[in-house]
Amino acid sequence: MSLSYEAELESSRAVEPRVLVVDDEPRARQALVELLEGEGYQVREASDGFKALGVLRKWKPEVLLTDWRMPVMDGITLLKKAREESPGLACVVMTAFGSVESAVEAMKAGADDYMTKPLNFDAVTLTLQRAMQRLAMQRELETLRAEQDRSLKTRIIGNSRPVQQMVSMIDQVADSRATVLVTGESGTGKELVAKRIHEKSSRANGPFVRLHCAALAESLLESELFGHEKGAFTGATSRRRGRFEEADGGTLFLDEIGEIPQSVQVKLLRFLQQREFERVGGNDTLSVDVRIVAATNRELEEEVKEGNFREDLYFRLNVIHIEAPPLRSRAGDIPVLARHFVAKYAQENDKDIRELSPKAIERLESYDWPGNIRELENVVERAVVLADKERIEEAHLPASLGRGETVLADGLHIPGATLEDLERYAILKTYEATGGSTSETAEILGISVRKVQYRLRDYREEGVTIN
């Protein structure tokens, strides 16, 4: 089993996997129980259908794994009754009398999968993994349906350390009045961060207003922000409220703040300092209660040094700094993000797609994602449109995705790099990402603090600059 497949298996198990094994043969049942417990599942057992229903009602398993031919109540009857009790239950049928006809009958009765005895234990593990993945997909669909009634979808998906740290910071500062600067590469979900800040704040019932600063010319940008009076310029046939007034009592999200010209920077700085402004062409000074969240994929400190961005405005914006991590630094979130997008676009395109194949997941995990989450979403949407069965296969992904040589940052090529090269890259990049913490670096990489310290000393002696 590959590492990427194991990661996907663990991701699928995040839903507290409980399996009920039903078989009238004690030895076969016990062997299966021991196998599944060894794989990390929580397992209960029953020797017949009636006992199984009693366990099911009290314990609520995710998966029913039942023999077909049993005394008192056969597996198909049990399956039907179990589904009445628990409609979302995943059901797998086992039988020593395998045939096309029996497989069809099991599927018609509502089984999710079908295995023949004697069981191949590797096949059992794979079958259970597929069942758990379908359950995860179904729950994702249910979550999406629930979210349709919300005005803002602020759910940030992922359990990786960078995401947990980001969400913790968001929730910590959301209810303050402080201005927030969100940085990160294109496609990392900076607007979603801004929306969650708004949703978690006391302003959640107020408006959330967005302005893409790079999309407008200088004259239009000023009018969009501050509004204008009738006759202020050619075409201004009436008074118009700007985004600041529209966002009164709520949050104004200024996307691509690094693109605004100097003349608008001056007026924005004045608002942040004094909380007041005038409409274009007007003399009345207006004041509104607006919380500013700004975002950029530029290095604003460099823009300040080059004279493109005012230093005083930068400091006013950068009261709270939140960085949206690139997808390559949170690769463990790729399977769950991919499942989320499969569920989303399967629903939008009215397709019965339940899962991604292990090979498809492996391909997604092997890619560097320069376009980040937005690129992953586009790839998955394409795969859903192309898929003609209930599973996304490797063939549904773009041919160039994750094939051939992988190029990491700093020109490191795989294949082609030595293990020593890879270790150096992993330690230095993790050390940088943790802000120079040897203990966090060691924890993330699963090595000792002493080893990190020794390696850093060696790298410095080799002339590597380490901050």
Domain locations along the chain:
3-146, 161-323, 327-404, 409-461
Distance CA 41, CA 38 (A): 7
Q: Give CA–CA dist 175/170, Å, rounded.
A: 9
Which residues, in sequence order, are bridge partners of residue 43? Answer: 19
Q: Is the pLDDT of residue 347 over 90?
A: no
CATH number of 161-323: 3.40.50.300
409-461 placed in CATH 3.30.365.10: no
pLDDT of residue 411: 54
Q: CA-CA distance, 249 to 72, in Å (whole number)?
A: 67
* 352-410 pLDDT tens trace: 887 888 889 988 988 888 889 999 999 999 999 999 888 899 889 988 775 544 555 55
Instruction: Give me the pLDDT at residue 149, please.
Output: 46
In the predicted structure, residue 158 carries a pLDDT above the cut 50: yes
Q: What is the pLDDT of residue 192?
A: 93
**Same fold for the domain at 3-146 and the one at 161-323?**
yes
Tokens standing for 363? 């391909």
Angstrom distance (rounded) from CA 203 to CA 332 = 33
8 with 358: CB under 8 angstroms?
yes
- Which CATH architecture group holds 3-146? 3-Layer(aba) Sandwich (3.40)
Q: What architecture is domain 327-404? A: Orthogonal Bundle (1.10)
> For strand 285-287 and strand 276-278, is the pairing parallel, antiparallel, or unpaired?
antiparallel
Give me the sign of the Cα torsion angle 130, 378, 422, 467: negative
Mean pLDDT over 206-235 rounds to: 82
Residue 466 identity (one-letter amino acid): I
Q: How far is CA 127 from the centre of its chain?
A: 25
Per-residue burial over 315-342, b if 16 or more Cβ lie within 10 Å, else e, is ebbeebebbbbbbbbbbbbbbbbbbbbb
Q: What is the DSSP letter of 110?
A: T
72 dihedral zone (left: phi>0; alpha: psi -120 to 50; beta) = left
Mean pLDDT of 413-428: 73
Helix, strand, coil content of the chain in percent (nearest 5): 50, 15, 35
What single letter denotes the amino acid at residue 69? R
Mean pLDDT across 105-119: 79
* CA-wise closest residue to 331 among 144, 135, 163, 126: 163
What stretch of H or E contains 56?
A: helix 49-59
